[in-house]
Structure 1
Amino acid sequence: MTDKKYGRLIGASLGPGDPELITRRAWTVLNGDARWLYPVKKAEESSYALSIVTRGGLEVPADAEELVFPMTRDAEILTKAWARAAARTVELLAEGRDLVFLVEGDASTFATFGHLARVVRELVPEVEVETIPGVSSFAAAAATTGTTLAEEDETLAVIPAAYGVEVIDHLLDEFDTLVLLKVKPLVDEVLELLERRELLSTSCFIEKVGSPDERIVRDVASLKGEKVNYLSLMLVQNPKRQRGELRRGCRKRKAEAEQPKETAAA
C-alpha cells in the first residue's frame, strides 16, 4: 500500500471588490505555483472573484479551472453540484499540487470555501486546508461609508436578511448595529420595518462595495420598488436602543483589590 500525497487546498480571501484590499499573503499565493480554482454560478459564466484579481493586474493562468455553484435553493441540485465540485477538487489535489480557491470577501464569512473544504476533507481527511483571511464586505462597506460598526460596549450582529423582518425587528432591540446581508429579496419589507422603527435616517445601503460598480444609497427609502444587485447589504444603526446593565467583572475585581484590608480582631 502506497501513501498518496495530496496538495494543499488554500482559500484565498480577495476582499469584496477592490483588488487593493487583497492581502499580501493572498497575493503571494496567487503569484505562486498553486493552481487556481474559482467559483461560477453557471458553466463558462463570468466569475466575480476572478474579476477582482484580473482588475488587480494578474493574468489568469491557462490551467485555472472553474467550479460551478448554482444559485438555487433546490436541495437536490445543490447536493449534486457540491459533490461534483468536491470530487473534482480531490482529483486535482491527488496530483500533488496545491490548489488556491478564489474567494470574494472573507473565506470564513458566508463563503463557498468553508463548505467546499469541509466536503473535501470528508472525502479525504488527510488533505491540508489553509484559509487566508480577508476584508469582509460589511467591513469594507462601513469604511467606505464612514460608519462605525461598534464602539466600546456597543453590540453588532451580522445576519442574512432572509431570516425575515420579524427576526430583524427583534434584533434591533438587542444590537446597536445590524448588518443585513443579501437584502435583494426583502428590500421593500425591510424598508417598511425601518420606517416604522424610525431608523431610515440611520441606515445605509451599499451595492458591490469596492468594485467599479459600487453604489451607496443613504436615502434608503428611495430604494422602494427597486430591483437591487445580489451583492448588496444594508447597515442599520439603532441609536435609541435601551441597553441593559453591563457586568464588569474585571473592573469589579480590580476595585476590590484596591480596597484596604480590614485588620482581623484579636
Structure 2
Amino acid sequence: MTEQQHYGRLIGASLGPGDPELITRRAWAALQSGARWLYPVKKAEESSYALAIVERGGIAVPADAVELVFPMTRDAELLAKAWARAATQTVELLASGRDLVFLVEGDASTFATFGHLARVVRELAPEVEVETIPGVSSFAAAAATTGVTLAEEDETFAIIPAAYGVEVINHLLDEFDTLALLKVKPLLDEVIDLLERRELLATSVFIEKVGSPEERIVRDVVSLKGEKVNYLSLLLVQNPKRVRGELRRGCRKRQVAVTA
C-alpha cells in the first residue's frame, strides 16, 4: 500500500496595490511563517511588482523564493503553456510538504493571477489545501487617496476592465452611479472622448500605480489624451446625473394562503 502524498498549503497573500502599510496583519504573518515564497513576473528574471511591495515594507526576500512566469500576451497557446508550467512547478514544490505563499498585488480574489493558478493546481493535485488572504484592492485604495466615494446609501457601483469597450462603458454609465475602469491604458483616448461627450470629465479621476512611490493622480483627465500611461492605471468615473428607478424598501408582507 503506497503512502499518500502530503502537500503543503498554497496561500494567496494579498499585499494591496502598492503601499506596504496596506498589507494586512494576516498576510504579514504568512510572509514570515516560514512558508516558501512564490512571486509572479512577466518575463524570467524580471522585476516583480508584488515582490517590490514586500521589499518596501522591510521584509528581506528569502534566498529560496521562486519566480513564476506569467507572460503578458493574448496568445492562447503561449498562455496555456505558461499556466501549465507554473502550476506544475507549484505542485512539485508543494509535494515537499512545505507551505507556499504566493505574493499577490491588490486583492487575490479580484482580477488576480492567484485564482487561476489555484484552480489549475487543484486540478493537478486535488488534495492541496488553498487559503486566500483578502487585501485592499486598487480601486478601493484609489478612492481613498482621491477622496472619491464609491457608493453611498442606495447608490450603485461597478468594476470592469476598460477593454470591454466604450459601447459597454457608455451603457453602464446609465446603470451605475460610479464606475471603476481598470487597465485603461489601451483605450484611454477613446474613454476620454466618451466622458467628454457625456460631460463627465469633471467627475472623473485617473490614478496610476496607486500606493507606490510612482503614484500619480490626474484630475484634468483630458490632458492625458495621446499619452502612454502605465499598465497599472485606472479611472474612477461618477455620473451624478444618472436617473434611478424606484427602490423597494423594507420587507414585503408574506401572503397567507386562504383556504375555502
Aligned pairs (5 A) from 1:116-127: 116-127=117-128
Residue 258 of structure 1 corresponds to: none
Partner-residue secondary structure (3-state), 2:102: strand
Q: Aligned partners of 2:55, 2:197: CA distance in 1, in Å?
A: 44
Off by >2 Å, runs of 4+ in structure 1: none
CA distance in 2, matches of 1:91, 1:126: 13
Partners of 1:197 and 1:126 in 2: CA distance: 52
1:20 aligns with 2:45: no
Q: Which runs of 5+ in 1 are unaligned?
A: 255-266
Q: SS state of the match for residue 107, structure 1?
A: coil
1:197 aligns with 198
Q: How far apart are residue 66 of structure 1 and its match? A: 0.1
- Report the Cα distance in structure 1 between the residues aligned to 2:242 and 2:135, rounded to whole angstroms: 31
State the partner residue of 1:261. none
SS of equivalent to 1:144: helix
- One-letter code aligned to 2:193: E
**1:7 lines up with 2:19 in the alignment:** no
| Counterpart position of 1:142 | 143
Where 2:117 maps in the other structure, the secondary structure is helix
SS at match of 1:134: coil
Aligned 1:1-266 pairs, distance under 5 A: 1-250=2-251, 253=253
| Aligned partner letter, 2:238 | Q
Q: Offset of 1:253 from its aligned partner?
A: 4.6
User: Alignment partner of 2:47: what SS?
Assistant: coil
Question: Tell me, what secondary structure is at the counterpart of 1:159?
Answer: strand
Cα distance in 2, alignment partners of residues 27 and 132 from structure 1: 10
Taking only the aligned residue pairs, the percentage that are identical comes to: 85
Cα offset, 1:249, TM superposition: 3.7
Work out the CA distance in 2 between the residues paired with 1:194 and 1:247. 31
Secondary structure of the residue aligned to 2:85 is helix
| CA deviation after TM superposition for structure 1 residue 2, in Å | 1.1
Question: Deviation at 1:32?
Answer: 1.0
In 1: Cα distance, 2:88 partner to 2:145 partner? 39
User: Matched residues in 1 for 2:30 and 2:166: separation?
Assistant: 41
How far, CA to CA, are the matches of 2:46 and 2:148 in structure 1? 34
1:264 corresponds to which residue? none
SS in 2 for 1:70: coil
Distance 1:185 1:84 in 2: 28
Q: Give 1:90 shift.
A: 0.1
1:263 counterpart residue number: none
Determine the C-alpha separation between the residues in 1 that align with 2:52 and 2:253: 53
- What does the per-residue CA deviation read over 1:81-106, in whole Å, with 9 as the maximum and x for residues that have no partner? 00000000000000000000000000
What is the CA–CA distance in structure 2 between the aligned matches of 1:213 and 1:94, rounded to whole Å? 39
Q: In 2, distance between residues paired with 1:176 and 1:109?
A: 21
Write the distance in 1 (CA, Å) between the matches of 2:110 and 2:104: 10
CA deviation profile, 1:42-83 (whole Å, cap 9, x unmatched): 000000000000000000000000000000000000000000
Which SS does the other structure have where 1:206 is aligned? Answer: strand
Post-superposition CA distance 1:87-131 (Å, at most 9, x none): 000000000000000000000000000000000001111100000
How far apart, in 2, do the equivalents of 1:230 and 1:210 lie?
A: 15
What SS class does the counterpart of residue 234 from structure 1 fall into?
Answer: strand
Cα distance in 2 between the residues matched to 1:216 and 1:77: 35
Q: CA deviation at 1:247?
A: 1.3
User: Following TM superposition, by how much is the alpha carbon of 1:218 offset from its aligned partner in structure 2, in angstroms?
Assistant: 0.3
Q: What is the CA–CA distance in structure 2 between the aligned matches of 1:214 and 1:98, rounded to whole Å?
A: 33
Residue type at the aligned position of 2:41: V
Distance 2:17 2:228 in 1: 21
